[in-house]
């Protein structure tokens, strides 16, 4: 039991982990505030979902987190280290996924919802819409990367 507590304490006290957590929460907070002020959040449930869980939107929290990780690892281990190369490749996969596969899935979901709603309006089927926002626009990913870089930089030099 002591070993498990020690490992958990080591993870939580790790500055790279703290930087990544701060980056993710910062991006989610910004996303939530944008949703709140633009009138897209109408309930406490929607507010808590946006703050903790909701994907898509401005900025990309996934990109912010992985950029923070890559920045911290670069400063701590050096940009020529294997660990940095792993983090950098992970960053590239994350960005590609946000802009490519997940974005395409979101666009497909939008078209499916349009078709489903049209068929439902004609009373041909009973249709329940599916989630459309899965990926990101390029600016959402770019801002997530900028946010993540500066948070990583801040944690790395302090």
Domain ranges of the chain: 2-100+135-157
Q: Residues 31, 114: contact at Cβ < 8 Å?
A: no
Q: In which band, very low, low, confident or very high, does the pLDDT at 148 lie, cut at 50, 70 and 90?
A: very high
157 and 25 Cβ atoms separated by less than 8 Å: no
Measure the CA–CA gap between 153 and 128, rounded to whole angstroms: 44
Q: Is the pLDDT of residue 55 over 80?
A: no
Residue 15 clears pLDDT 80, i.e. is over it: yes
pLDDT band at 102 (very low <50, low <70, confident <90, very high): low
From the number of C-beta atoms within 10 Å of its C-beta (0-12, 13-18, 19+), residue 94 rates as buried
CA angle 47, 12, 150 (to 5 degrees): 65
For the residues 24-48, what does the mean pLDDT come to? 84
- The token pair at 5 is 């507590």
Per-residue confidence at 129, pLDDT binned at 50, 70, 90?
confident
Tokens of 119: 């068929």
pLDDT at 133 over 70: no
Pull the structure tokens for residue 108.
């497909």
Q: Sign of the CA dihedral 137, 138, 139, 144? A: positive
Distance CA 33, CA 50 (A): 9
135 has pLDDT over 70: no
């Amino acid at each position: 039991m002591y070993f498990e507590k020690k490992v958990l304490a080591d993870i939580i006290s790790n500055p790279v982990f703290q930087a990544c957590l701060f980056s993710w929460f910062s991006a989610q907070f910004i996303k939530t505030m944008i949703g709140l002020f633009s009138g897209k959040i109408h309930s406490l449930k929607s507010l808590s979902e946006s703050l903790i869980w909701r994907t898509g939107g401005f900025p990309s929290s996934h990109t912010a987190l992985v950029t923070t990780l890559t920045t911290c690892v670069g400063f701590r281990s050096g940009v020529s280290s294997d660990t940095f190369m792993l983090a950098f490749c992970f960053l590239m996969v994350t960005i590609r996924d946000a802009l490519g596969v997940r974005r395409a899935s979101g666009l497909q979901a939008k078209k499916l919802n349009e078709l489903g709603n049209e068929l439902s309006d004609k009373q041909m089927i009973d249709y329940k819409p599916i989630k459309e926002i899965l990926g990101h626009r390029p600016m959402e990913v770019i801002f997530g990367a900028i946010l993540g870089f500066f948070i990583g930089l801040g944690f790395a030099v302090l």
